[in-house]
Amino acid sequence: MKWFFILSTLIYSFASLQVQINVLEKHLWKERVVLLFAEEENATTQAQLSAFENDEQGMKERNLVVYQIYATTGINPQKNVLTTKEITMLRKHYQPKSEGITVVLIGKDGGEKLRKNSILAVQDLFDTIDAMPMRQSEMKRKNK
């Protein structure tokens, strides 16, 4: 019985990770991902999205894409709707706050780099990214 429990837990964990990877894997080593979590689209999420849109050039320079993930719906950077399974798995994996918003930065390597449970100032986002070794290399290559 103990082995059955361990095996079923491993299979479930692998399946959960697989969906999370499938959703974000296309960005690995190409783009940094911002996950904007909230229970629903509201004035706060709109303010955060507007802040990102107002510095489109900075977002583009840092290879940033944004996912909007709400309780029952989600939108990818191409403005396509996420499946219920993708939403559930992303929420389960990143465990956002149940109230307000949670903003998570995922690096090009797929690791979580920053988390904030309120509006994230775009300059704070950029400062975090610009301090990363990979970004430092990108800036050096660009200036050559």
pTM, two decimals, is 0.84
Does the pLDDT value for residue 27 go beyond 50?
yes
Q: Please report, for residues 3, 13, 47, 128, 138, the alpha-carbon distance to residue 8 in angstroms, rounded to integers and kept in the order given.
A: 8, 9, 42, 39, 43
Per-residue confidence band for 14, with pLDDT thresholds at 50, 70 and 90: very low
Per-residue pLDDT tens for 50-64?
999 999 999 999 999
Question: Using the 8-state DSSP alphabet, how is residue 64 labeled?
Answer: E
Per-residue pLDDT tens for 91-141?
999 999 989 999 999 999 999 999 999 999 999 999 999 999 999 888 888
Q: What tokens does 87 get? A: 């939403």
CATH number at residue 130: 3.40.30.10
User: What is the domain range of residue 93?
Assistant: 2-143
Whole-angstrom distance, CA of residue 15 vs CA of residue 62 = 31
Q: Which of 123, 100, 137 is CA-nearest to residue 51?
A: 123
Looking at the structure of the chain, the number of domains it has is 1
List the single range of 7-11, 29-33, 131-135 with lowest mean pLDDT.
7-11
Contacts of 11 (CB under 8 A, 6+ apart): none
